[in-house]
Homo-oligomer: A and B are copies of this chain.
Amino acid sequence: MTTRLGPDTRQTYKHYTDISTRWMDNDCYGHVNNVIYYSWFDTAVNGMLLAQKIAGAASPEAIALVVKTGCEYFESVSFPQPVEIGLRVIKLGSSSATYELGVFTPDQPLCHARGTFVHVYVDPATRRPIQIPQRHREVLNQYLTLE
């Protein structure tokens, strides 16, 4: 994985989640506040995991804890623009999964921002890292991109 300095194109992501912006997402400059992007990343990742039935009550064998997140902002977004959050897995370790998320708006080919999001899988009782369970790994592999 190399450090990507500029925005990405849509086809480099494997899955998209449509999210509406909200009036209060805008800050005093009229742009969506930097914090809000993370609520979109959180929603894209957890929404996919829930739809794939490997999160919450559907995953008694493992909890995915967020250990690291990040975002580079290339160009602002403003309410009422909706966003489309691209998702890809860029690294699957023994017990961790690293996602990248691209923030797109309609008709724009390049992302406005790119986030990273790292889950570590832990035992629900001991909270110690465990190997990613096989059925989780099979799902996550579907979103894996090789560079």
| Contact indicator B43/A22 (Cβ below 8 Å) | yes
CA separation between A73 and B39, bound complex, in Å? 16
Chain A contact surface mostly: mixed
- How many A residues, CB 8 Å from partner? 38
B18 touches A20 (CB 8 A): yes
Q: Is A46 on the interface with B (CB-CB < 8 A)?
A: yes
Per the 8 Å Cβ criterion, residues 26-73 of A in contact with B are 26-30, 33-36, 38-40, 42-43, 46-47, 50-51, 56, 63, 65-73
A42-B38 CB under 8 A given contacts A19-B20, A28-B27, A80-B50: no
Chain B residue nearest to A51 (CB atoms) is: B80
Q: A28-B27, A33-B24, A50-B80 are in contact. Are A71 and B73 (CB under 8 A)?
A: no
Q: What's the Cα separation between A35 and B41 when bound, in Å?
A: 9
Closest to A40 in B: B22
Chain A, residues 9-30, CB within 8 Å of chain B (1/0): the string is 0000000001110111011111
In the complex, A79 has a CB within 8 A of chain B: yes
Interface residues of A (CB under 8 A from B): 18-20, 22-24, 26-30, 33-36, 38-40, 42-43, 46-47, 50-51, 56, 63, 65-73, 79-80, 116
